[in-house]
Chain A
Amino acid sequence: MLINEEMKMAEVIHLNHHLLHVINRFGIQLGYGEKTVKQLCAEHELPLPFFLEIVNTFHDPSYFPVDAMLRFDAALLIRYLQQTHAYYLEFRIPEIEQYITRLTTDESWDEAVKRLIRDFFHQYVFELTQHIKREEDRVYPYVLALAHYLETGQGEKELVESLMHYSIQEYENEHDDVESKLFDLKNIIIKYIPRPKDSRILNLILHELFELEDDLHNHSHIENMILVPIVERMEKEFFALTRNGRHD
């Protein structure tokens, strides 16, 4: 069942509690009362179609964004994606870090094993952070400049310059690398850790890793299914404009 505007937000959460984080990223916090999706979006000055597309893309993996999303405001989408990044780096990762610390201070574990897991996790965090930074430093400013140009006609020269170094298609290819490391970490814990006396703390870590993986997967799904088509549409418009314009 897809989420629609007439549903009460409380019902949405009962239907799928994994959406809590997503809804938070729009600035909508708990305490929904009897308010509907539509009412809460209006209260937070959020375009309803945008909210519904994002939430449904998360909610149903087979959901395919409607064509209207090609007209979504790029700045709005990027603000959402940045919120998601902040959630990973400021909340989710530190939470897993706490569990890892608990593991490393547990005397019943072999020192070498603890160190391997901790170091592997830190390496993963480093790569995830690098990946996010690259998106925020290179991809997003480019997208915003493109939107700005199409709206105002300003900044063409800088755009052409950055286009020579980067195109949105490259960006699609960058996603898989970081995923592999998370995948490995899960498998190492599930299959290859020497059997511990008590695996409760590892269960917690694993649970977190699965959740993080799901969330990241959805995040890149949104980037690939919504952001990339929007940017491709804008790039086309940009080329059409510059080709027909005074530069020809």
Chain B
Amino acid sequence: MIEAVKILLIEPSYIIKEGLRSALGRLNLSFRIDEVDEVKENLVLTLEKFTPRIVFANHRALETKWAGNRSAAVFDEVLLVGMYNEKVTLFEMARYDEVLCIEENKQQIISSLQNILKKAGLLSNESETENLSEREREVLRFVALGLTNNEIAERLFISTFTVMTHRKNITRKLGIKTVSGLTVYAILNKIIESGEVNVF
């Protein structure tokens, strides 16, 4: 994954916070963590403030502030991971998307985290530097030449939506986000000639 995943950690224990941070650091994931000891107002406000992709929450720090209602729009994009210990029944954890037992050992914690992130599509099995497919090279060529998504769709007889999917995959595979960055890549890799395009 290229973009840093925003993570919110709701947990009062310093040791658990640092522990989770260190465990996440062992995965092939780039992330940014915001931390709060507890949810002071309501959970929706906290989520709106930090806009995380994943929340790791201590069940005890959350239970009185949130009854499990997920109707607010802000929940749509969030993966809620409840952290529990042996004193909590799994029944209580049903409100979370995923659960993480904090009493597991190092290997177990890391593999639980890997499973959770893979299921959410945040950790891929593939290596980061896959080669571009033939179609992706074509799309890249047109992007570098300055065509819009619509124009590319017309030329290749595919939908604009498919063009956007290709572009996402190109960016993911190459680690290049901007059009001018992709243009430089295309020139360096002889996908286009520098004479073909007025680069900057």
Contacts and interface: CB of A to CB of B under 8 A. Distances in A.
User: Does chain A bind chain B?
Assistant: yes
Interface residues of B, number: 23
A193 B181 CA distance: 12
B122 interface: no
B36 interface: yes
A101 B178 CA distance: 24
Nearest to A185: B181
Interface string A52-63: 000000000110
Interface string B7-22: 0000000000100010
B181 A184 contact: yes
B199 A119 contact: yes
A112 interface: yes
B185 interface: yes
Contact of A187 (B21, B175, B189, B200): B175
Interface string B157-198: 000000000000000001111101100110111000010000
A196 interface: no
A184 B199 contact: no
A187 B199 contact: no
Interface in A110-143: 112-113, 116, 119-120, 122-123
B33 interface: yes
B129 interface: yes
Contact of A180 (B177, B184, B185): B177
A183 B177 contact: yes
Given A116-B187, A188-B176, A62 B181 contact: no
Contacts of B129: 191
Given A113-B188, A116-B188, A64 B35 contact: yes
Contacts of B178: 180-181, 184
A194 interface: yes
Q: How big is the A interface, by class?
A: 20 to 34
Contacts, number: 62
Contacts of A119: 199-200
Q: Is the interface of B mostly helix, strand, loop or mixed?
A: mixed
Given A64-B36, A191-B129, A192-B185, A123 B177 contact: no
Contact of A123 (B34, B189, B200): B200
Given A188-B188, A193-B188, A122 B200 contact: yes
Q: Is the interface of A mostly helix, strand, loop or mixed?
A: helix
Contacts of B194: 112, 116
A160 to B, nearest CB: 26
Contacts of A112: 187, 194
A146 B200 CA distance: 39
A62 B36 CA distance: 10
A223 to B, nearest CB: 15
A195 B181 CA distance: 18
A194 B199 CA distance: 19
B80 to A, nearest CB: 20
B35 to A, nearest CB: 5
Nearest to A194: B188
A34 B189 CA distance: 56
Contacts of B189: 192
A62 B180 contact: no
Contacts of A191: 129, 174-175
Given A184-B181, A194-B188, A120 B174 contact: no
B174 A187 contact: yes
A116 B192 CA distance: 13
A205 to B, nearest CB: 15
Contacts of A187: 174-176, 181
A185 B180 CA distance: 10
A112 B186 CA distance: 13
A62 B184 contact: no
Interface of B: 17, 21, 32-36, 129, 174-178, 180-181, 184-185, 187-189, 194, 199-200
Given A183-B177, A191-B129, 11 more contacts: A61-B33, A64-B35, A64-B36, A112-B187, A122-B200, A123-B200, A180-B177, A187-B176, A187-B181, A191-B175, A193-B188
